[in-house]
């Protein structure tokens, strides 16, 4: 029996992900149930679009939320959020330094 020789090597480089920030506000304090519903609604869309939720911050009165996520780009995040039925005040790309 002979030995196999690999003449080509595939090298996979991770995609450079964009940091995307979503700002969302509510007219009344967001309940735990509402927050859970929003999280579940976006889970599948995030997975399909290779997005990762990094962290979410809520104001003390729960009227404002900031969600930091990673996506291929801003447009991918916009499409994923909108397909999940998520409304937001602002969506923007961010960089850290």
Task: Write down the domain spans for the chain.
Answer: 18-94
Residue pair 70/19 in contact by the 8 Å Cβ criterion:
yes
Partners of residue 58 on adjacent β-strands:
65
Average pLDDT over residues 14-19: 81
pLDDT, residue 14, reads 60
Taking only the tens place, the pLDDT of each residue in 56-95 is 999 999 999 999 999 999 999 999 999 999 999 999 999 9
Distance CA 58, CA 63 (A): 8
Model-level pTM? 0.79
pLDDT over 80 (residue 11): no
CATH fold of 18-94: Alpha-Beta Plaits (3.30.70)
What pLDDT was estimated at residue 1? 47
């Amino acid at each position: 029996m002979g030995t196999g020789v690999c003449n080509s090597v595939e090298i996979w480089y991770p995609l450079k992900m964009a940091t995307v920030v979503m700002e969302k506000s509510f007219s009344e304090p967001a309940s735990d149930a509402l927050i859970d519903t929003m999280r579940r609604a976006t889970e599948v869309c995030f997975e399909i679009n290779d997005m990762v939720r990094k962290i979410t911050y809520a104001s003390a009165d729960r009227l404002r939320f900031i969600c930091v996520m990673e996506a291929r780009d801003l447009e991918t995040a916009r499409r994923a959020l909108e397909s999940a039925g998520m409304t937001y005040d602002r969506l923007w790309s961010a960089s850290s330094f």
